[in-house]
Structure 1
Amino acid sequence: MSSILIIEDDNSIGDMMSIYLMEDGYTVKRASDGQSGLRLFKEFEPDLIVLDIMLPDSDGMKLCADIRSLSSLPILMVSAKNDVSDRVKALLIGADDYLCKPFSMRELSARIQALLRRSQIVKAKSAPVTREAPPSIHVDTDKRCLYVNHTPVETTFSEFELIKLLWLHEGKVFSREELLNRIRGIDSFVTERAIDVHIANLRKKIEVDPKDPKYIKTVWGVGYKFVLAAE
């Protein structure tokens, strides 16, 4: 569950927020002044901060700006000040939301959930995209075996003949008719349509994504080719 830091000098409000949010399942830490709040922020590394504007030792607005310069975590400011100018200033210096006192605990919880949800979406979009490494493909013509990542992969007789031909002539484009002639007589039921079926089955066995093949490429209007170094 997410962790929340509350920086609030009013003990009754601070205790009420802490208890309510803990009951909601959050891990909660609380500070009653700006200095201890900044210390807890660095030690605790919360997922969200609830920050009061009026603090005994510092200006909540400045503290918000200081925290924002160090982190992009969501900041929800709370205050008895409900002037539009105060709300606008808080948002401009880096707050993500502003809640005027008095407020209900249900509304506080709902706003926190919304901010955390938005934060997770942003993190997901900014996270680096990891791609699965392409497999290593090898054809042992003597043993009549296809290896994917050094692991033998079972093939039919016709499938092996096709992958062997393509693998031995990397980059060469073969028409369906040429591939058909290669295995004609081995597979008495082979047709040009059967070639497509064999190719589809081979892709399932060697490609990371058979629908986006990197090794057995379709050359539209002609046939197929094999690219050993996946493009």
Structure 2
Amino acid sequence: MKTVLVVDDDPNICRITKLYLEKSGYSVETAHDGDQALAQFDKLSPDFIVLDLMLPKRDGWAVCQKIRAMSDVPILMLTARGQVEERIEGLQMGADDYLIKPFDPNELVARITTILRRTTLRSDAPVPTNLYEIGSLRLDAGSHEVTVEGHYVALPKKEYELLLFFLRNPNQVFTREELIAKIWGWDFEGEDRVVDLYIKRLRQKLSALTQRRDDWSIRTVWGVGYKFEGPGAC
């Protein structure tokens, strides 16, 4: 039985969410502020976290950031506002999905089930331990370490997964839709322009550490999408 931690300062949301999830076969624990959320996380090691953004004591952004430093547990953020910038910021911090309030509890259950199924399939697959070295860029898929000219590059989960996907599929053009399907999953309902933002951040972080501009590149193929190019990439 999978354990879901529901974090929201609204008792009614916690109660209803708990009811629907338990009917679907999940074990559910709740927390009502940011500090409680972190305490419950340490105590329970939950399989999934539903996390409201607007929390007392410590907001959802801070809770997500703290948990992401320790764990890859799937996180679905709840927000009362639907601004694209806010949703993108949540995804950048490491959230796997988001849902805007008010929401249908059945949709929440469906999203949790889908994300857990996808996560389970990934964890059951053989873990590659390949070492990718293209020019000055080095990625160790075993230790999840990325370096440029020997300098360590800290990448959030989705940026790392995007770079790893490119390195495993060099010199191939992928559309935004294909990249979203591969990295975020077909059930992702956000804006496809989130890919552009992640590409921009990857380029900035990696290029800042090298002067060898012809080493490798994540190239924009106008009207189509993106591809990774580099010497020896095949």
CA RMSD of aligned residues (A): 1.5
Deviation, structure 1 residue 126? 4.6
| Cα deviation 1:37-81 (Å, max 9, x = unaligned) | 101101101100000000011121111111111100100001101
Is the alpha carbon distance of 1:127 and 1:115 closer, same or farther for their aligned partners in structure 2, counting shifts above 3 Å? same
Gaps of 5+ in 1: 130-231
Q: Report the AA paired with residue 10 of structure 1.
A: D
Match of 2:80 in 1: 80
Kept after mapping to 2: 8 A contact 1:74/1:96: yes
Q: Report the AA paired with residue 108 of structure 1.
A: L
CA distance in 1, matches of 2:126, 2:63: 26
Match of 1:96 in 2: 96
CA distance in 1, matches of 2:9, 2:49: 14
Match of 1:29 in 2: 29
Is the alpha carbon distance of 1:66 and 1:24 closer, same or farther for their aligned partners in structure 2, counting shifts above 3 Å? same
TM norm structure 1? 0.54
Gaps of 5+ in 2: 130-234
| Cα deviation 1:184-209 (Å, max 9, x = unaligned) | xxxxxxxxxxxxxxxxxxxxxxxxxx
Question: Rg bigger for which structure?
Answer: 1
CA distance in 1, matches of 2:126, 2:80: 35
Kept after mapping to 1: 8 A contact 2:4/2:46: yes
Runs of 4+ in 1 over 4 A off after TM superposition: 126-129
Deviation, structure 1 residue 122? 1.6
Match of 2:222 in 1: none
Match of 1:71 in 2: 71
Is the alpha carbon distance of 1:84 and 1:4 closer, same or farther for their aligned partners in structure 2, counting shifts above 3 Å? same
Q: Report the AA paired with residue 34 of structure 1.
A: G
Match of 2:108 in 1: 108
Deviation, structure 1 residue 97? 0.1
Kept after mapping to 2: 8 A contact 1:64/1:93: yes
Kept after mapping to 2: 8 A contact 1:73/1:119: no
TM norm structure 2? 0.53
CA distance in 2, matches of 1:126, 1:13: 38
Match of 2:172 in 1: none
Match of 2:169 in 1: none
Which structure exhibits the higher relative contact order, with contacts defined as CA atoms closer than 8 Å and separated by 6 or more residues? 2
Q: Report the AA paired with residue 17 of structure 1.
A: T
Match of 1:38 in 2: 38
Q: Secondary structure at the match of 1:70?
A: coil
